[in-house]
A and B are shown apart, each in its own frame.
Chain A
Amino acid sequence: GIQVEQSPPDLILQEGANSTLRCNFSDSVNNLQWFHQNPWGQLINLFYIPSGTKQNGRLSATTVATERYSLLYISSSQTTDSGVYFCAVELDFNKFYFGSGTKLNVKP
């Protein structure tokens, strides 16, 4: 099956710092989404980004489908950004595969 690897697995930032999270995948995909799982477990959609670049406030994402990776940028991090960030890819229709996540801890 497809391999979805996220790096780094853990990240500690001081409030205000910037960071880049990476998602590598081993096969061509139809869909890629980034999620933030907050400390209560809720998954929040961040980006639907099978290719190209999108920005939403302090967050932006870029997917280079031909090179099989996606990047999530967090600028001016805040404590509320803490949690786990997952990327998920869709290989066949309706089959999503999740990476192992990046656990982010933003300290005040």
Chain B
Amino acid sequence: GAVVSQHPSWVICKSGTSVKIECRSLDFQATTMFWYRQFPKQSLMLMATSNEGSKATYEQGVEKDKFLINHASLTLSTLTVTSAHPEDSSFYICSARDWGNTEAFFGQGTRLTVV
């Protein structure tokens, strides 16, 4: 299957700082990438959908000014958590699919801890 790489795998940051998470499709071009958030012992919740070269579409209740998404190329999407607070601590997972493929592939996730 296709490979989606996410970096970093884990990050600890101070409250008030910003953190950038990268999601790369390694062997295919991802016209669409998705960002999910997972709280401990819970399921994945879709945060936003990003399409290459256009603005991301955010799900209801997700603050777009706090969670900045950029999909500047067909192989890279970034999620920036701005002015992070402890309540932003969570597991963030990206997924991607290419134009001709209906199957979505997931990155290994990033565990964010804000102290």
What is A's interface to B at a CB cutoff of 8 Å? 30-31, 33, 35, 40-45, 48, 50, 86, 88, 90, 94-101
Q: How far, in angstroms, from A48 to B106 measured CA to CA in the complex?
A: 13
Contact B91 A41 (CB under 8 A): yes
> What residue of chain B has the Cβ atom nearest to residue A49's Cβ?
B103
The distance from the CB of B50 to the nearest CB of chain A, in whole angstroms, is 10
Is the Cβ of B43 less than 8 Å from the Cβ of A30? Answer: no
Among residues 98 to 115 in chain B, which have CB atoms less than 8 Å away from a CB atom of chain A?
Answer: 102-109, 111
A94 touches B34 (CB 8 A): yes
Partner of A96, one of B46, B107, B108, B109: B46
Q: CA of A96 to CA of B36 in the docked complex: distance in angstroms?
A: 10
In B24-45, the 8 Å CB interface with A consists of 32, 34, 38, 42-45
Q: Which residue of A lies closest to B32 (CB)?
A: A94
Q: Number of B residues whose C-beta is below 8 Å from A?
A: 22
Which of these, B43, B102, B106, contacts A45 with CB under 8 Å? B106
Q: Verify A45–B103 contact, CB threshold 8 A.
A: yes
Contacting A at CB under 8 A, from B50-81, are none
The main secondary structure of chain A at its interface with chain B is strand
Beyond A41-B108, A43-B109, A94-B34, whether A48 also contacts B93 by CB under 8 A is no
Contact: B102 with A35, CB < 8 Å? no
Nearest B residue to A101 by beta-carbon distance? Answer: B43
Across the interface, which residues of A come within 8 angstroms of B104, CB to CB? 33, 88, 96
**A18 CB, min distance to chain B CBs, angstroms:** 25
CA distance A31 to B95 in the complex (A): 15
Note all chain A residues with C-beta closer than 8 A to B49: 94-95
Contact A41 B111 (CB under 8 A): yes
Residues on B with C-beta less than 8 A from A97 are 46
User: Which of B42, B44, B108 is in CB contact (< 8 Å) with A42?
Assistant: B108
Q: In the complex, A98 Cα to B44 Cα: how many Å?
A: 6
A100-B91 in contact given A45-B1, A94-B32, A94-B49 (Cβ < 8 Å): no
